[in-house]
């Protein structure tokens, strides 16, 4: 069937650089939407949120799109030199914008190493069975095609850190299972594993099991304690420690109940004090914790403590200090 362009279907037309059309093969649909919006509205000061809402994508998608079109030379940052586009000389793997501020040599080296051009990526896929396997398997795991940012990041993790494709695929699959399959999370996890020296299937499997316990416990804690908000980094740190110690959700809930009884509010540091004391004493069930409380109450009638240590108090020193700072005593004058 023959199709014709309806040139009179709007208020006019706008120009699209030839380079953009030449680079459509590696451009994702979201990247094309972002570029068309920028070109039509002739905007230079990009508001990620505004553009994202206008074309129906996330701010991260807009950043990915801008990064891609910079790499292929369609866009460039104000004050920098545009990438020269030539059919005879592909875009080289280098930064196309000048970074402002103080950047360490190591950070600059990492950033430059990450700047693969689309042509370089296509060449690596063509000539490397490992990279071809990595990309195809990653796409199968995620159920979609990889975008440019995902391709270059996976390639960078492979080259810069030497992370094997099978280990990267284990990270991708785990990230998908916990609904955190963003390239940012995948990259952060991969770098963390590299720093921990995780290089074998056994080490990777052990780490995934530990992470599964943590994420499972995090969800249970939020649900059982009725937290309808995002946990703070400190709270997540406590939960990770509890997961590593094998503390059950039942015991965590009991420590929460004791915390409310003692200080009248949720406080993870207070709960952690209770749980750490129980863990040190080998108390790993609610029954054992209650038996310990009963024994302590018999030995010390009238004493109510958070974790059973005689040198601790049932009151919250933080609350007392806060009260003292916010209340000025009244002096009765004679």
Average the pLDDT over 98-103 and give the result.
40
Per-residue model confidence (pLDDT) at position 20: 84
Per-residue model confidence (pLDDT) at position 116: 82
Per-residue model confidence (pLDDT) at position 8: 73
Asked if 190 and 166 count as a contact pair (C-beta separation under 8 A), the reply is: no
Per-residue model confidence (pLDDT) at position 102: 45
pLDDT of 286-327, one tens digit each?
999 999 888 887 777 655 554 444 444 444 545 554 445 455
Comparing 20-34, 37-51, 271-285, which segment has the lowest mean pLDDT?
A: 20-34
Give percent helix, percent strand, percent coil of the chain, each to the nearest 5: 60, 0, 40
Q: What angle do CA 324, 330, 333 make, to 5 degrees?
A: 150
Per-residue model confidence (pLDDT) at position 87: 42
Per-residue model confidence (pLDDT) at position 303: 55
Residue 150 has, within 13 A of its CA and on its CB side, a CA count of: 24
What Å distances lie between residue 331 and 59, 75, 265, 328, CA to CA? 58, 71, 31, 9
Could you write out the DSSP letters of every residue in 257-323?
A: HHHHHHHSS--HHHHHHHHHHHHHTT--SHHHHHHHHHHHHHHSTT---SSS-TT--SS-HHHHHHH
Is 62's pLDDT higher than 70? yes
Is 96's pLDDT higher than 50? no
Bigger pLDDT: 293 or 97?
293
Per-residue model confidence (pLDDT) at position 113: 58
Is 285's pLDDT higher than 70? yes
Q: How many CB atoms lie within 10 A of CB 260?
A: 15
Residue in the block written with tokens 């030379």: 73
pTM listed for this prediction: 0.50
Per-residue model confidence (pLDDT) at position 125: 92
Asked if 190 and 114 count as a contact pair (C-beta separation under 8 A), the reply is: no
Per-residue model confidence (pLDDT) at position 111: 55
CA 233 and chain centroid, separation: 12
Is 84's pLDDT higher than 50? yes
Backbone angles phi, psi at 22, to 5 degrees: -70, -20
Asked if 36 and 83 count as a contact pair (C-beta separation under 8 A), the reply is: no
Q: What angle do CA 204, 208, 210 make, to 5 degrees?
A: 120
Q: What percent of the chain has pLDDT over 70?
A: 78
Is residue 42 left, alpha or beta, with left meaning phi > 0 and alpha meaning psi from -120 to 50? left
């Amino acid at each position: 069937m023959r199709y014709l362009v309806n040139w009179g279907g709007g208020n006019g037309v706008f120009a699209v650089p030839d380079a953009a059309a030449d680079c459509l093969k590696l451009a994702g649909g979201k990247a094309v939407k972002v570029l068309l919006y920028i070109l039509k509205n002739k905007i230079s000061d990009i508001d990620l949120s505004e553009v994202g809402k206008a074309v129906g994508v996330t701010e991260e998608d807009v950043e990915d799109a801008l990064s891609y079109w910079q790499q292929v030379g369609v866009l460039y940052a104000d004050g920098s030199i545009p990438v020269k586009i030539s059919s005879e000389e592909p875009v080289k793997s280098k930064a196309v914008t000048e970074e402002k501020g103080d950047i360490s040599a190591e950070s600059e080296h990492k950033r430059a190493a990450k700047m693969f051009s689309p042509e370089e990526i296509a060449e690596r896929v063509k000539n490397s069975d490992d990279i071809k396997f990595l990309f195809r398997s990653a796409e199968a795991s995620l159920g979609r095609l990889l975008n440019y940012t995902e391709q270059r990041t996976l390639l960078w993790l492979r080259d810069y850190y030497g992370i094997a494709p099978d280990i990267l695929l284990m990270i991708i699959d785990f990230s998908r299972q916990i609904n955190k399959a963003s390239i940012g999370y995948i990259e952060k996890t991969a770098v963390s594993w590299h720093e921990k020296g995780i290089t074998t299937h056994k080490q990777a499997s052990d780490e995934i099991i530990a992470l599964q316990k943590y994420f499972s416990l995090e969800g249970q804690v939020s649900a059982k304690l009725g937290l309808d908000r995002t946990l703070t980094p400190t709270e997540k740190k406590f939960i990770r420690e509890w997961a590593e110690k094998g503390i059950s959700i039942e015991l965590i809930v009991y420590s929460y109940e004791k915390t409310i009884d003692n200080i009248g509010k949720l406080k993870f540091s207070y709960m952690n004090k209770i749980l750490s004391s129980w863990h040190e004493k080998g108390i790993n069930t609610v029954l054992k914790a209650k038996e310990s409380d009963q024994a302590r109450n018999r030995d010390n009638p009238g004493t109510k403590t958070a974790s059973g240590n005689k040198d601790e108090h049932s009151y919250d020193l933080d609350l007392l200090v806060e009260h003292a700072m916010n209340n000025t005593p009244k002096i009765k004058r004679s």
